[in-house]
A and B are shown apart, each in its own frame.
Chain A
Amino acid sequence: MSDFDTQIPTTFDPFAEASGDNAGAGSKEYVHIRVQQRNGRKSLTTVQGLKKEYSKTKILKDLKKEFCCNGTVVEDPELGQVIQLQGDQRKNVSTFLVQAAIVKKDQIKIHGF
């Protein structure tokens, strides 16, 4: 019975979502954070799909300082600029991007194992 109480519709209307606020912001545009294995126990983190408005080099500078790792911005013909970082920084990157309000949490997709 107590379960029933929680299902009473509130101000959030699940059907209004499609035409709602985040449709314009491009809710499909995920930021993909991937990890790749290198030789030995080394790995590489890539961040793909950041919006054009942001300067990747500036983000990269802060990321490098924050995680104490090196990295570059790679130009990809299809995917635009992609940030590469040394080491497995997936969690760090996602928390950083959310905290800096660059991306919303539900737009981040973390790949890899």
Chain B
Amino acid sequence: MASDNPTDIKDELSELVPFDPTKKKKKKKPVAQDPVEEVEKLVEPTENLSVEDAGESVFAGMKKKKKKQVELDIDDDEDGDGEENNDGKVVEDEQGEGIVFGVERFPWEGTDRDYKYEELLGRVFNTLRENNPLLAGDRRRTVMRPPQVLREGTKKTVFANFMDSCKTMHRQPEHVMNFLLAEMGTTGSLDGQQRLVVKGRFAPKNFEGILKRYINEYVICNGCKSADTILSKENRLFFLRCEQCGSSRSVAPIKAGFVARVGRRKAGA
């Protein structure tokens, strides 16, 4: 289960990377108009690009761009100059990235107009990404499908896509089941088709609320809020380790707590 995730990310990478160079070219052409500054521009194409991106686009596009930007940085590091040469312009790369950083260019350079908010924002994100890419907040959202809940008879409820939910969260079904049952204060079990059958009547909304709580407590990393975590048991304690940032924390064991006696009492007990 856990091994699914890295491959996912890799897929995404490979989707994104070939897409980037074309984009770079497109963006670069309109910019490269005045010959004086062209050299500087070429030296740090990524920097340039993203600043313009931020300037052109409104907020709606930001998230997507952020993601791409990181990708860009990566492949610049790996085979940095290959792509620039593809553009047909040769750059001297004796200047390392470090120096380049100072030569950063902005759309407002040369004019004496005011800075736009978007431009400054882009600049902040640029520097942030440059120095510590972890903080720049490029994360994929994992989307959970809403629980499908059926009624079995009048007294039992079936959570049909229970396995599916467990898989998207990368958690053992037993653990999730324990939590759900403890929270709802009922009993239940997995049936033949791996659906969760719970005693009592519950609406899909109820399941959703509890799953949300489960995710907050047992899935999401406190440090970086990513859901890419692993729950492991080390001498009786559960630990949650984040795959993204490497942090780990202990989580509370699931306790059912007090369960009041519902239903008929037997004469003996």
Q: Which residues of A line the B interface, CB within 8 A?
A: 1, 32, 34-39, 44, 46, 48, 74, 76, 79, 82, 84, 111-113
A34-B185, A36-B185, A37-B185 in contact; A113/B202 too (CB < 8 A)? yes
Q: How far is the CA of A85 from the CA of B183 in the complex (A)?
A: 18
Which of B51-59, B168-176, B218-226, B256-264 lies at the interface?
B256-264
Residues of B within 8 A of A112 (CB): 183-185
Q: Is A84 touching B183 in the complex (CB atoms < 8 A)?
A: no
Q: Is the interface of A mostly helix, strand, loop or mixed?
A: strand
Q: How far is the CA of A46 from the CA of B120 in the complex (A)?
A: 54
CB within 8 Å: A-B pair count = 53
Q: How far is the CA of A44 from the CA of B261 in the complex (A)?
A: 10
Task: Give the number of residues in B that approach A within 8 Å (Cβ atoms).
Answer: 22
Report B193-210 CB contacts with A as 1/0, cut-off 8 Å.
000000011110111011
Q: Is A32 touching B257 in the complex (CB atoms < 8 A)?
A: yes
Q: Is B260 touching A74 in the complex (CB atoms < 8 A)?
A: yes
Measured CB to CB, the nearest residue on chain A to B120 is A1
Interface membership of B186, Cβ < 8 A: yes
9 closest residue pairs by CB, A with B: A113-B206, A37-B200, A36-B185, A48-B258, A82-B258, A79-B258, A111-B183, A38-B262, A46-B258
Measured CB to CB, the nearest residue on chain B to A109 is B257
Q: Is B210 touching A48 in the complex (CB atoms < 8 A)?
A: no
Q: How far is the CA of A79 from the CA of B258 in the complex (A)?
A: 7
CB distance from B119 to the nearest CB of A (A): 13
Q: Is B258 touching A37 in the complex (CB atoms < 8 A)?
A: no
A111-B185, A112-B185 in contact; A36/B260 too (CB < 8 A)? yes
Q: Is A48 touching B201 in the complex (CB atoms < 8 A)?
A: no
Residues of B within 8 A of A74 (CB): 258, 260
Measured CB to CB, the nearest residue on chain B to A79 is B258
Residues of A within 8 A of B205 (CB): 113
Q: How far is the CA of A36 from the CA of B185 in the complex (A)?
A: 6
Q: Which residues of B line the A interface, CB within 8 A?
A: 120, 124, 182-186, 200-203, 205-207, 209-210, 257-260, 262-263
Residues of A within 8 A of B185 (CB): 34-37, 111-112
A111-B257, A113-B210 in contact; A36/B262 too (CB < 8 A)? yes
Measured CB to CB, the nearest residue on chain A to B155 is A39
Residue in A39, A44, A113 whose beta carbon sits within 8 Å of that of B260 in the complex: A44
Q: How far is the CA of A34 from the CA of B263 in the complex (A)?
A: 17
Q: How far is the CA of A1 from the CA of B258 in the complex (A)?
A: 49
CB distance from B103 to the nearest CB of A (A): 24
Q: How far is the CA of A54 from the CA of B85 in the complex (A)?
A: 77
Q: How far is the CA of A7 from the CA of B259 in the complex (A)?
A: 44
Q: Is A37 touching B257 in the complex (CB atoms < 8 A)?
A: no
**Which of B184, B185, B262 has the most chain A CB within a 10 Å cutoff?**
B185
Residues of A within 8 A of B201 (CB): 37
Residues of B within 8 A of A82 (CB): 258, 260
Q: What are 25 A-B pairs at a CB distance below 8 A?
A: A1-B120, A32-B258, A34-B257, A35-B185, A36-B262, A37-B185, A37-B186, A37-B201, A37-B262, A38-B263, A39-B263, A44-B260, A46-B258, A46-B260, A74-B258, A74-B260, A76-B258, A79-B257, A112-B183, A112-B185, A113-B183, A113-B202, A113-B205, A113-B207, A113-B210
